[in-house]
Amino acid sequence: MKFPTFKSIRTRIMVNTTLLLLTVICAIVSVWAKSESHLYRTENVQDANSFVRVLTYTLGDELIEENWSQIRLTLDVLLRENRDFVYVFISDARQQNRIIATSINYLQNQYVPDIVPLKVTNTVVESTKPSVVMETFILRDVYFSGNLRARRGERIMEVASDIRLSSGKKIGTVRMGISLRRIDRAITNVVNQALGVGFMGLVFGWVLAYILAKRLSDPIQRLQISATKIAAGNLQHRAQITNKDEIGALANSFNEMSTALQSSFNKLQKTLESFELFVPNKFILAIAPQGIENIAVGVAATKTMTILFCDIRGYTSMSEMMTPQETFSFLNDYLACMGKAIDQAGGFIDKYIGDAIMALFDDVGCDGALQAAILMQQALDKFNYERRHNNLPKIFVGIGIHRGEVVMGTVGFTCRIDSTVVGDAVNLASRVEGLTKQYGCTVLITESVLKNLSSPELFTLRLVDPGVKVKGKDEAIAIYELLEN
98-126 pLDDT, tens per residue? 888 888 888 888 888 988 999 988 888 88
With bands split at pLDDT 50, 70 and 90, how would you rate the model's confidence at 281?
low
Higher-confidence residue of 345 and 256: namely: 345
With bands split at pLDDT 50, 70 and 90, how would you rate the model's confidence at 2?
very low
pLDDT above 60: residue 248 = yes
Q: Establish if 249 belongs to a structural domain.
A: no
CATH number at residue 175: 3.30.450.20
Q: Residues 6 or more apart from 293 whose CB is under 8 A from it?
A: none
Determine contact, residues 158/116, Cβ cutoff 8 Å. Answer: yes
Q: Establish if 247 belongs to a structural domain.
A: no
Q: Establish if 216 belongs to a structural domain.
A: no
Q: Establish if 401 belongs to a structural domain.
A: yes
CATH number at residue 364: 3.30.70.1230
Determine contact, residues 479/448, Cβ cutoff 8 Å. Answer: no
Q: Residues 6 or more apart from 425 whose CB is under 8 A from it?
A: 305, 307, 402, 403, 404, 405, 406
Q: Establish if 213 belongs to a structural domain.
A: no
Higher-confidence residue of 15 and 303: namely: 303
**Residues 292 and 180 both lie in one domain:** no
Strands 477-483 and 85-92: unpaired
**Residues 177 and 49 both lie in one domain:** yes
Least confident of 27-31, 333-337, 410-414: 410-414
With bands split at pLDDT 50, 70 and 90, how would you rate the model's confidence at 56?
confident
Domain boundary among 186, 210, 227: 186
**Residues 343 and 454 both lie in one domain:** yes
Q: Establish if 145 belongs to a structural domain.
A: yes
Q: Establish if 234 belongs to a structural domain.
A: no
**What residue numbers bound the domain in which 168 lies?**
9-186
**Residues 14 and 149 both lie in one domain:** yes
Domain count, the chain: 2
**Residues 161 and 289 both lie in one domain:** no
Domain boundary among 160, 186, 212: 186
393-430 pLDDT, tens per residue? 888 999 999 999 988 877 777 667 777 788 888 889 98
Residues linked to residue 172 through DSSP beta bridges, in sequence order: 92, 163
